[in-house]
Each structure stands twice: as C-alpha cells, then as structure tokens.
Structure 1
C-alpha cells in the first residue's frame, strides 16, 4: 500500500501538510473521485475490513466502498500523510427496527482543533466539520452538531438522509460489524449500512 497510489486514485496533486487546508482538500478529492458503493452487501459477498484488501478494491480495482471501507482507507491515508486520526463508532437511524449499534465508521482528526471527518456517508458533508456544537454551513447546506452528555449527534442537511450519533471513544477497524461476515440489508430498509 502506497500513499502515492491513493493520492493518484483521488487525483490529488497538492502539498501534503498536517493542516486543515490539506485535510479539507483531501476529503473533498476523495469524495469527488470515489463513489459510495455497497454492491457487495447487496450481493451477499463476504466482507472484510482488512486494510490491504480495502486498498486493493478501492485503489487498484478503482471501485467505490461503503463507510467502513471508505473511512478505513481514508484513515490509513491520513495517518500515512502524518495526521493524527481516531476511528469512532457511529449509529445511523438509532431506534429504527433492525438497526445495529455502531453501524457507521467516522473519523476524528486532531489539528488546531478536532474535526469530524467522513468520506463514507452517502450524501453527507463535502469537507470536514469542526467538532463544535451548532450549525455548520457548506455550499449552502446546513448541517448541525449537537452534544448530549458523552454522545454527539450529527444532523444531516434537510434534503439528505438521516444523521448519526457517536461518542469520542476510539475503536479499532477490526472491531466494527461486518468483519468476516456477509451483511444483508434489513427487510424494507432500501439501503445497506452507511
């Protein structure tokens, strides 16, 4: 796995510095180059959270991925570029029938302030959002972060899908659901995990 191959896959030719400008540029480049894709889930294929296999699928085979793959790969790339990255467990559509706790992987990047980073949320934000309660506007879309005790709630823009909630407790990639399993979409859900 080479950072240069990943950067070529997302079409990024800018400088690599551990700052918010680079983080924003990498986040945007990833989202514009690599589609959210959950075909393997719908086809009942065996899933893996092995970084090398994710790299092969998304970078070498030029496919897309679902949240665990996209954010797992992005975390690897950010770390390879010198960023401090924490994997966090999120839950999309909490309280809905068939929803699995920790069904979404998000990232926290520590810079001059912490940033919520997510390149694997179907129709989410285009650039990292500062981890601060309140509204965050990007490209005319209004997102919001709300804090309730140790839990944070991300509210997607009004035309987007559901948001998610999360805590700041770190989690290893291999600890997320889906490792070594075939994952099926809950009946009537219409989409797989984000």
Structure 2
C-alpha cells in the first residue's frame, strides 16, 4: 500500500479503538493477528455514511481517515474503513494491496468502476487473505485468497470464484459470493487509495447512489449479530437471524442510539436531502 506510514502513537490509538491494550500490541503480522483485528474492527468501527448527510468532506488520505476513525470516533464507508484499516495493517508489518470491485445490484448488474475497495493482505505465515471491513453485512473474518471452495464464516458461506465459471468471459476477474449469491466482482490489478477518489465522489454526490438516498450506521455486535440504524429505524439481529425493529420518534433518541451503540457523538441528527428516501438501503445488504 503506497503511502507514508502512520506513526507509532497513531497505531497505539487505533489499536486502542479496537480494544487492544498497548501492552498487547501484535508482535508479528500473522494470520491469527489479522483475523483478530478484522473482527475487532467490525465490532468497534461502524459502517456509516453520515458524512454524506452532514455536509462533511470525504478525503481519501490515510492520515485524515485515521483521524476520523480514531480521533473523531467515527466510522465510514468502504474507502474510508478499508483505507484506514490498510494503513494500520501496513504499519504493523503486513503487506497490503488495495483492490477495486464492482458491487452487484438487485438486477444482477455490477456497479460503477471503483464502486468498492477491498484489501489483499499477506502475512509472515505465507497467508494471503481478502480483508474487507467496509462492506456492512459481510464476512466477519478475512477470506482465504486462493481458496476456491466454500469458506464458512459467522456472516455466511462465502466463495471466491473466477468470473469465467459464471459467464464465460475469461477476463480474469473474481466474483465473491455469499450464500451462493454474487456480492461483488473483484479486479485483481493492484490499486492505490487515490484511485478511488472518483468512486467516493460519485457515491457521496450522485442521486443514483444508495448512500445519497439513505442513512445507515451499522456494526457487528459482540454476540455475532448486527445492530443497524437506518434513518430512524433501529434493527437488532442476533447471530441466529432473529431480529427486532423499532422506530425512534425523537431526535434525542436517535442521537442517543448513535452515542450509546456506535460511540458517535453528534450535535444534530443527519437528514437525507429532500426528495430522497431516508430508509430502505441497508449496509450493502
């Protein structure tokens, strides 16, 4: 991942956000450390698009992303979360390569170029992993990069397969499937964080982007379920798939949920712009 590394104090603060005590800093960039940090990130740092509706600028520079997540106690969407996580992993000695992906829509069509960003991570154990802490509802642990069979995870059954298996195109791209359904199509060419600026701009400004049309804040819970606030609708799902939902009628309740369940302190409730729908699009679900 081509960039200046974040410094030691930022690494310590970032690990603290993930619940890793300073004396327990990882000694080596191993498979087990990656798996642990991946799950911790999903539990501690929410997938959210609040900046889009608060009028906040989204800057794809690693120091700004780390400051947002660590200093401001916020989350973000894919470019921000995976960008910051990649910076942390790089500083810890992992070899990290950003990859671009295009997300499958409801009708089975892939999205825009640079629609999504994921990380290819290599460890000192010789492991190669697809890490993605920026997709909302997805795998809790990184996926084995070269494994083409089913990979069972608390988030579902995943598989990484060649596109040629599905459509005969033979373009060398890879589809990531969850429970048999294609989720996104990966390009295997290495990228840099700056390559995703146009995708981030489109997703934060275009009327065609579900991030512009909806509000979402979501994270994995300690018991393996998920808690999501979409607009004013709070949904809590347990690890077995059972769920409860309720509407939050007052601004005070909404701000309280952001603060108590996501660690996000706001002075006003984000509002979807007039003419756009405020609920209905979950965290890439």
Q: TM-score, normalised by structure 1?
A: 0.87
Residue-pair matches, total: 192
Match in the other structure for 2:148 = 133
Instruction: Give the root-mean-square deviation of aligned CA atoms.
Output: 2.7
**Stretches of structure 1 lacking an aligned partner (at least 5 in a row):** none
Greater Rg over alpha carbons, structure: 2
Instruction: Report deviation, 1:165.
Output: 0.8
Instruction: Report deviation, 1:99.
Output: 3.0
Instruction: Report deviation, 1:15.
Output: 4.4
Instruction: Report deviation, 1:48.
Output: 1.3
Give a deviation string over 1:31-72, Cα, whole Å, max 9, x none: 110010011224454321011211111111101110000000
Instruction: Please say if residues 41 and 185 of structure 1, whose CA atoms lie closer than 8 Å, have aligned partners that are also in contact.
Output: no
Cα 1:120–1:187 change in 2 (3 A) is closer
Instruction: Report deviation, 1:178.
Output: 4.3
Give a deviation string over 1:59-106, Cα, whole Å, max 9, x none: 111011100000000000000000000000011126767931121000
Match in the other structure for 2:177 = 155
Partner of residue 50 from structure 1, selected from 58, 61, 65:
61
Instruction: Report deviation, 1:5.
Output: 0.7
Residue 184 (structure 2) pairs with residue 184 (structure 1): no
Instruction: Please say if residues 98 and 186 of structure 1, whose CA atoms lie closer than 8 Å, have aligned partners that are also in contact.
Output: no
Cα 1:4–1:133 change in 2 (3 A) is same
Give a deviation string over 1:154-173, Cα, whole Å, max 9, x none: 01247xx9611112211110
More relative contact order, 1 or 2 (CA 8 Å, 6+ apart):
1
Match in the other structure for 1:59 = 70
Match in the other structure for 2:19 = 11
Cα 1:180–1:7 change in 2 (3 A) is same
Q: Secondary structure at the match of 2:16?
A: helix
Residue 132 (structure 2) pairs with residue 118 (structure 1): yes
Cα 1:3–1:108 change in 2 (3 A) is same
- CA distance in 1 between counterparts of 2:99 and 2:143 reads 15
- Once the two structures are overlaid, the 10-residue window that deviates more, 68-77 or 89-98, is 89-98
Match in the other structure for 2:39 = 28
Instruction: Report deviation, 1:185.
Output: 4.8
Match in the other structure for 1:171 = 191
> Which structure has greater helix proportion?
2
**Stretches of structure 2 lacking an aligned partner (at least 5 in a row):** 1-5, 164-169, 215-280
Match in the other structure for 1:107 = 119
Instruction: Please say if residues 110 and 184 of structure 2, whose CA atoms lie closer than 8 Å, have aligned partners that are also in contact.
Output: no
- CA distance in 2 between counterparts of 1:167 and 1:97 reads 16
- Once the two structures are overlaid, the 10-residue window that deviates more, 110-119 or 96-105, is 96-105
- CA distance in 1 between counterparts of 2:36 and 2:44 reads 12
Give a deviation string over 1:160-192, Cα, whole Å, max 9, x none: x96111122111101112466753351677549
